[in-house]
Amino acid sequence: MLYFGVIGHPIGHSASPIMHNTVFRTLNIDAIYLPFDVKPENLKDAVYGARALGFKGLNVTIPHKEEITKYVKPVGLAERIGAVNTVDVPKLEGYNTDAIGALRTLEAYNVDYEGKVVLIVGAGGVARAIAFALAGKSTLIITNRTASRGLKLAEDVRKYGECIFYPYERVEELKGKFDILINCTPLGMKGFEEKLPVPESLIENVVVFDTVYNPIETPLIKLAKKRGCKVIYGLDMLVYQGAEAFKIWFGFDPPILVMRDAVVEFLRQHL
């Protein structure tokens, strides 16, 4: 039996256990994936404990994604980003599959992001992962409620490609100046503000990618569809980041649709 888990604090509503356990069942893999509530002061013990217990893989979520880089070696994009969400436990190596998952999502929707102007709203963990994933491929504009945080992200990303910060209060001025909009704020998420992350006037003739996945149809997605924009669901990014984690642990691609159906069912039950 192979052991996997996701560590976070709190961990109650993670979709990862159902997503991975469904694939294990479908592929007849003798493995189990469990959620673990790990307080920040116990992170080191949890990582080394998992290794001592023979775990094969861990996912890592809020608030441990950055702190865990002290205990596992970040590889690939995780090193640039400074955050890890997937661990190869025996090797103590850390990956950032949010970043790879976002790129795979764009590709799955046949969205050509190379050479395009991408407006990223937000400068937190997800914005950071996506910005580093797109750096050097797209021209990036970052906007964020807290300017200092947005400026810092733009400065970090600029080492790898074109990236500027644009003030959140003046974002309406960017109308017609970008091709893809990516919402990396929690605006529109269940239990959060219903507000759109950008003024309505910007939702026109652009691809709209909302990383929020609960609800699946966010207010931003609904408006974008009404305006005839191509839309990309946060649900798909969630599935692709999980699929990338599976590939790191097993060396082959899992059945995407099986994972997606499991997450849709999970979200239906938790809406």
Ligand X SMILES: NC(=O)c1ccc[n+]([C@@H]2O[C@H](COP(=O)([O-])OP(=O)(O)OC[C@H]3O[C@@H](n4cnc5c(N)ncnc54)[C@H](OP(=O)(O)O)[C@@H]3O)[C@@H](O)[C@H]2O)c1
Contacts with ligand X, residue ranges (CB under 6 A): 98, 122-127, 144-146, 149, 184-187, 189, 193, 211-213, 234, 237-238, 241
On whether 138 is known to bind a ligand per the annotation, the reply is: no
Query: What's the min distance (Å) between Cβ of 111 and ligand X?
Result: 15
CA-to-CA distance for 170 and 189, rounded, in angstroms? Answer: 23
Active-site residue, from 56, 65, 73, 226: 65
96 or 185: whose CB is closer to ligand X? 185
- Of the pair 91, 268, the CB lying nearest ligand X is at 268
Nearer of residues 146 and 205 to ligand X, judged by Cβ: 146
| DSSP 8-class letter at 188 | T
**What is the closest distance, in whole angstroms, from the C-beta atom of residue 182 to ligand X in the complex?**
10
User: Rounded distance, CA 235 to CA 243, Å?
Assistant: 12
- CA angle (97, 101, 103) in 5-degree steps: 125
Q: Would you say 102 is a known binding-site residue?
A: no
* Secondary structure of 25-93 as H, E, C letters: HHCCCCEEEEEEECCHHHHHHHHHHHHHCCCCEEEECCCCCCHHHHCCEECCHHHHHCCCCEEECCCCE
Q: Residue 211, annotated ligand binder?
A: yes
User: Does residue 166 have a known ligand-binding role?
Assistant: no
Q: How far, in Å, CA of 120 to CA of 52, rounded?
A: 40
Helix orientation angle between 234-250 and 16-26, rounded to the nearest 10 degrees: 50
Tokens of 51: 């290794």
Rounded least distance, CB 214 to ligand X, Å: 7
Beta carbon nearer to ligand X, 8 or 234: 234
Q: Between residues 88 and 98, which has the closer beta carbon with respect to ligand X?
A: 98
Q: How far apart are CA 229 and CA 224, in angstroms?
A: 5
Q: How far apart are CA 84 and CA 4, in angstroms?
A: 16
Can 247 be counted among the known catalytic residues? no
Q: Which helix (H) or strand (E) holds 251?
A: none
Question: 113: annotated binding-site residue?
Answer: no
Give the nearest distance from C-beta 117 to ligand X in angstroms.
Answer: 20
Q: Is 179 annotated for ligand binding?
A: no
Q: Produce one character per residue of 153-185: b if its CB has 16 or more CB atoms within 10 Å, e if not.
A: bbebbeeeeebebbebeebeebeeebbbbbbbb
Q: How far is the CB of 53 from ligand X (least distance, A)?
A: 27
Annotated binding-site residue numbers for NADP(+): 122-126, 144-149, 211, 234
Active-site positions read 65
Annotated binding-site residue numbers: 14-16, 61, 85, 98, 122-126, 144-149, 211, 213, 234, 241
